[in-house]
Structure 1
Amino acid sequence: MKQVLEKLTSYSVYLNGSDFLGTADVQLPSLEYLTETVKGAGIAGEVDSPTIGHFGSMTATLNWRAVDPAAVKLAAPVSHALDFRGSMQVYDAGAGGYKSVGVKVSVRAIPKKYDIGKFDIGATTDSSNEFEVTYVKIVIDNKTVVEVDKFNYICIIDGTDYLAAVRENLGM
């Protein structure tokens, strides 16, 4: 049964799991492993070796159409729990029809920048919040597919916790 994930139908932004913040556009964080170049005897050249479970800075940006009170609230210098809850349109080739599948991206984010935007008659202000992300979790159709928690040494990708042995070795 082939399923084609077509597009995000819609989504909303929530603070602390229940406070509706609206429908700001969001640039979600990228997962980029920390790497170290390995070279020497037994290696024909160089390899940028990833440090498993360790990621560079992860940022997220919320873009607003106006100077929104929610954006001001998110400028407070505390960690914010944000949920981006969406519905994806999926074509089910076996059934010959469409269905909606839930997708949720949760982050814990610390503000780095609040850009109030610009005033221009008849135009959006293009206000934005930029955050440093310390935790991200992606759930698709009620299944956790990614969970990265930098402070608690958790790196779950597709059901495997790649830092479980590290936590054990560290006595955590």
Structure 2
Amino acid sequence: MLPRKLKNFLFYKGHGKQKLYQGQIPEIELPKLTRILEDYRAGGMDMGVKVDLGQEPMEMTVKCGGHEVDLYRDFAKPGIAAVPLSFSGAYQRDDDCSVIAVDIYCLGRLEEIDPGSAKLGDDTEESFKYVLSYYRLSVDGKDVIEIDALAMKCVIDGVDQLEAIRNAVGLYITV
């Protein structure tokens, strides 16, 4: 069995995939999903354990093959969910040629613009780093992970990991 390899992808910005950047985005650093774990050991325990304290902040970096003025317009937009971003990728295995669709939809704000170097005749690469408040991963149209910081939701394969905690504190948001 060979691994699935990214064969192609598209990057969109805007609600409903309004703006397509076909041929302009050679690389995207997709969000890392990291849990905050703290060491804990008390009397009666033979070893320490890691206690889950929630999600680390998420980031997404978009690298452009040239100057994309439209992405500059995201700078200093108010609101932690001001900029919608989407990644759609096709991953294929070379042994059985099966293809899966991977879609990542995020909401965030632009934190950093790195315009890179400007040298006559050289390729230019600009980077845009977004900090995210919302993340959803779908594979072949099925949601696998949804993280919504504002709604205090962490849904993994259809199971809301934070529902009991929301209910305990009086937030009755349902999936």
Match of 2:77 in 1: 77
Compute the displacement of 1:98 (Å).
1.8
Asked if the contact 1:5/1:88 (under 8 Å) is kept, the reply is: no
Distance in 1 (CA, whole Å) between partners of 2:92 and 2:166 is: 38
- Could you report, residue by residue, the CA deviation over 1:26-80 in whole angstroms, capped at 9, with x for unpaired residues? 10111111222211112223222112xx211211111112121232133342421
Contact 1:74-1:129 within 8 A present in 2 as well: no
Normalising by structure 1, we get a TM-score of 0.86
The answer for unaligned runs of 5 or more in structure 1 is: none
Q: What secondary structure is seen at the aligned counterpart in 1 of 2:32? A: coil
Shift of 1:4: 5.4
After superposition, residues 1-40 of structure 1 pair within 5 angstroms as 5-16=3-14, 17-22=17-22, 23-24=24-25, 25-40=27-42
2-side partners of 1:128 and 1:32: how far apart? 22
Task: Show the counterpart of 2:123.
Answer: 124
Q: Which amino acid aligns with 2:126?
A: S
Query: Partner of 1:44 in structure 2?
Result: 46
Are 1:68 and 2:71 counterparts?
Answer: no
Q: Deviations over 1:143-164 (max 9, x none)?
A: 1111111110110122221011
Report matched runs for 1:116-155 at 5 Å.
Answer: 116-155=115-154
Counterpart of 2:150 in 1: which secondary structure?
helix
* Cα distance in structure 2, aligned partners of 1:76 and 1:64: 19
Structure 1: distance between partners of 2:143 and 2:131: 22
Measured at CA, do residues 7 and 107 of structure 1 come closer, stay the same or move farther in structure 2, by a change above 3 Å? same
Within a 5 Å distance, the mapping from 1:98-109 to structure 2 comes to: 98-109=97-108
The CA deviation at 1:100 is 2.4
Q: Secondary structure at the match of 2:166?
A: helix
1:163 has 2:162 as partner: yes
Greater mean alpha carbon deviation, residues 150-159 or residues 69-78: 69-78
The 3-state SS of whatever aligns with 1:165 is helix
Deviations 1:71-99 (A, max 9, x none): 213334242111101112146x7xxx423
Percent of matched pairs sharing the same residue: 23
For 2:18 and 2:93, how far apart are their aligned partners in 1?
A: 26
One-letter code aligned to 1:34: I
**SS of residue in 1 equivalent to 2:21:** strand
Q: How many residues align?
A: 164
Q: Please state which structure has a larger fraction of its residues in strand.
A: 1
